[in-house]
């Protein structure tokens, strides 16, 4: 009887020793995750700070917010990963790798880029615009092939009437924004190309060079242009090169026959 008790006691001791050894091995990775103080900065693609961006440790709740200059300080595991996010930008993840200083560069979200419209005094998100502004991208406009911009826009923007008033080959279309406003003066809208008033017509601009077209239709949107914007303003933004972009050559050709 005594022998069985000794065996049982020895078995219990063995189990306890194995459990202690197992727990000691499991505690090694936990001890290896040293918490360090990470300082960093969040910038956009232009190198400007992104204020109020959220910084958090992946897999953990909570986090910190950047100040007005895009700076932040957070405590994180040396082998952890930081996740930075901000409204209108694509979230970015970066491993800490025992580094005390990190710099994040956020790129504009493609969904938010499509919601940005051009107004007389800059750009603004479409949901924040209270004035009457219509916008169309160059890619969407070129989905329907046309010999000029006015024909490509015909019937695609509310409040903008385009009609053919001349039978001459190659003649442009008459553009009226919210109808006719004057009996004696001109009713043609003001065309602004890349921020500069354009003397020509829309037909003088190549459709393949256009990035977007924004049409300002009411007085609050056109106020910056004074009396010149009384008939509405058509803002044309063309494609531009940027830092780090490679040169690219494209060609589009259309051919047809017309009979008088």
Residue 227 and residue 203 in contact, taking contact as beta carbons nearer than 8 Å: no
pLDDT digit string, tens, across residues 76-90? 998 889 999 887 788
**Per-residue pLDDT band at 29 (split at 50, 70, 90):** very low
If one looks up domain 35-110 in CATH, what number appears? 2.60.40.1120
Judge whether residue 6 has pLDDT over 70: no
Judge whether residue 248 has pLDDT over 50: yes
pLDDT of residue 74: 92
pLDDT of residue 2: 47
DSSP letters, 202-248, are: GGGS-GGGEEEEEEE-SHHHHGGGGGGGTT-EEEEEE----TTPPP-
Query: Alpha carbon of 22 to those of 34, 39, 69, 146, 216: distances in Å?
Result: 21, 37, 48, 74, 71
Strand partners, 193: 196, 236
Is domain 114-238 annotated with CATH 2.170.130.10? yes
pLDDT digit string, tens, across residues 126-178? 544 445 777 787 777 777 666 677 777 777 777 788 777 777 766 677 888 87
pLDDT of residue 242: 67
pLDDT digit string, tens, across residues 136-148? 877 777 776 666 7
Strand partners, 75: 37
Of 246, 216, 249, give the one whose Cα is nearest residue 231. Answer: 216
Q: Across residues 205-226, what is the average pLDDT?
A: 77
């Amino acid at each position: 009887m005594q022998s069985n008790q000794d065996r049982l006691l020895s078995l219990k001791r063995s189990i306890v020793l194995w459990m202690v050894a197992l727990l000691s091995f499991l505690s090694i990775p936990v001890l290896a995750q040293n918490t360090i103080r990470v300082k960093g900065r969040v910038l956009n693609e232009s190198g400007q700070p992104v204020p109020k961006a959220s910084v958090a440790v992946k897999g953990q709740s909570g986090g910190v917010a950047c100040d007005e200059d895009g700076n932040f300080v957070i405590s994180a595991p040396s082998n952890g990963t930081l996740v930075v996010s901000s409204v209108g930008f694509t979230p970015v993840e970066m491993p800490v790798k025992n580094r005390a200083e990190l710099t994040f560069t956020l790129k504009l979200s493609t969904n938010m880029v499509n919601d940005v419209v051009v107004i007389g005094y800059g750009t603004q998100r479409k949901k924040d615009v209270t004035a009457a502004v219509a916008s169309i991208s160059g890619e969407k406009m070129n989905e329907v092939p046309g010999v000029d911009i006015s024909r490509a826009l015909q019937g695609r923007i509310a409040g903008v009437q385009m009609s053919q008033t001349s039978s001459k080959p190659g003649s442009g279309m008459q553009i009226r924004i919210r109808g006719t406003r004057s009996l004696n003066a001109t009713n043609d809208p003001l065309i602004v190309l890349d921020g500069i008033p354009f003397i020509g017509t829309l037909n003088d601009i190549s459709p393949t060079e256009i990035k977007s077209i924004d049409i300002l239709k009411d007085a609050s949107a056109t106020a910056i242009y004074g009396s010149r914007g009384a008939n509405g303003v058509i803002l044309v933004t063309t494609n531009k090169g940027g830092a780090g972009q490679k040169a690219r050559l494209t060609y589009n050709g259309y051919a047809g026959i017309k009979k008088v």
